[in-house]
Amino acid sequence: MTLLRSLLFNVLFFGWTVVAVFVFLPVLALPPRTVLRVLRLWAGVIAWLLRVVAGLDYEVRGRANIPAEPVLFAFKHQSAWETMMFALLVPDFVGVMKRELAAIPLIGFYLSRMGMIAIDRAGAATALRRMVAQARERLADGRSIMVAPEGTRTAPGEHRRYLPGIAALYGALGVPVVPVALNSGLFWGRRTFIKRPGVITVEFLEPIKPGLDRRAFLAELAGRIEPAADRLAEEARARYLDAR
């Protein structure tokens, strides 16, 4: 049953995405926030398809930890799920993404028009300076920044070194960092066809105030995200996966 539901979801997912990409092309001439509203519409349909077709829903914890002002969101990146659904979780944001995504035909136009920050991961110091400069512009425009500290998707239970980018943003921008833990990788794994039924949990943790030195900040950030992500994975395994 899971295989059939996953097959149907994937067909509908790609079908809806192709339709949306072409139908909303005129929106690319409008301001970035209007393009973001289109992203929310697209993501809302995907969330509905996941719930109805694949039996995969989500819940959000810790909304009270989301400040009213623009901040940095540092999230445990496990799946393609959060890159799409983040638009449904916070009001206004831009993401830091690898430059290759901006080169995807048509989709790259949408990402660029939304104001996403594309970085060359091989660009070292030059790429960091460009990322910080663009992040300053977005924050000045009242938009939060979403970034994956590990720079790539990691499997549940896997812990990678946090990259310099998040520390550079924290030190240069002087705004709180909201750590975000989740367990999406248990249900929608990297490069996997199967979408397992259950409930993905996203938890916004207590913000880290500006002012820490680089080493203390990275230790504090990892010390909040990693245990929380492990806890959420254990909860999901016990409730949805081990029970089967």
Task: Please report the pLDDT score of residue 123 as a whole number.
Answer: 60
Residues 6 or more apart whose Cβ sits within 8 Å of residue 65:
178, 204, 205, 206, 207
Angle, CA 107 vertex, CA 103 and CA 113 arms, to 5°? 90
- Please give the domain boundaries of the chain with CATH numbers for all domains: 57-241 (3.40.1130.10)
Q: Tell me what the pLDDT averaged over the chain comes to.
A: 91
Task: Please report the pLDDT score of residue 114 as a whole number.
Answer: 87
| CA–CA dist 222, 161 (Å, integer) | 9
The pLDDT of 226-236, averaged and rounded, is 96
pLDDT digit string (tens) for 21-66? Answer: 999 999 999 998 999 999 999 999 999 999 999 999 999 999 999 9
Task: Please report the pLDDT score of residue 220 as a whole number.
Answer: 97
Share of the chain above pLDDT 90, in %: 73
Residues 6 or more apart whose Cβ sits within 8 Å of residue 156:
78, 183, 185, 186, 229, 233
What's the predicted TM-score (pTM) here? 0.91
Task: Please report the pLDDT score of residue 112 as a whole number.
Answer: 86
Q: Is the pLDDT of residue 71 over 60?
A: yes
Confidence of residue 106 (pLDDT cuts 50, 70, 90): confident
The pLDDT of 225-235, averaged and rounded, is 97
Q: Is the pLDDT of residue 129 over 70?
A: yes
Helical spans, DSSP H, in the chain: 2-23, 32-49, 80-89, 99-102, 107-113, 124-140, 164-173, 214-236
Task: Please report the pLDDT score of residue 121 as a whole number.
Answer: 65
The string of DSSP codes covering 137-195 is HHHHTT-EEEE-TTSS---TT---PPPHHHHHHHHHH---EEEEEE-GGGTS-TT-S--
pLDDT digit string (tens) for 160-214? Answer: 999 888 999 999 999 999 999 999 999 998 878 899 999 999 999 999 999 999 9
Task: Please report the pLDDT score of residue 23 as a whole number.
Answer: 94
Backbone angles phi, psi at 75, to 5 degrees: -115, 145
Task: Please report the pLDDT score of residue 152 as a whole number.
Answer: 87
Q: Is the pLDDT of residue 115 over 60?
A: yes
Confidence of residue 223 (pLDDT cuts 50, 70, 90): very high
